[in-house]
Amino acid sequence: MTIASQQYQLLLADDDVVFRETLYLILEPHFVLIEASSGAEAVELSERYRIDIALLDMHMPQLTGLEALRVLKAVYAVAPCILITADATDELRRNAAEANAFTVLPKPVTRRELVTTVSSAMEECYDDADIAASLLN
């Protein structure tokens, strides 16, 4: 049984509940969503659930998105991790690249940017054109 037939699990970590709910509504038809309101909770959930892809806000309590990303990549090396931030500096982009982030998305992020990025991550990391196409439709 492949991951695709089981449905991919997406970790969505953001302390802004309204933003998290918006992303949930966009992504829920395509993924099993696991929600966290802090970096520490994201790491804790990653110990209990398989994570196939992660969307992490940079500025969260307890652990930043970048700190959580580093922990996730140590366990889930293949899983693409996308950092989302209103503060996308060159230094942050370099640090994210060094931590093997898939990319850094600037806030506010449009629906199109979000689904295009998630689609690209799924196709590149899992060679899954079907999920990529379903996201874009």
Q: Residue 116 sits in a domain of what CATH number?
A: 3.40.50.2300
Residue at 91: amino acid letter: E
Structure tokens at 91: 């230094």
Helix (H, G, I), strand (E, B), or coil: what is residue 49? coil
For every one of its 137 residues, what pLDDT tens digit does the chain have, with 9 covering 90 and above? Answer: 344 446 999 999 999 999 999 999 999 999 999 999 999 999 999 999 999 999 999 999 999 999 999 999 999 999 999 999 999 999 999 999 999 999 999 999 999 999 999 999 999 999 998 988 888 88
Which residue segment(s) compose the domain that 113 sits in?
3-136
- Give me the number of domains the chain comprises: 1
Helix (H, G, I), strand (E, B), or coil: what is residue 12? strand
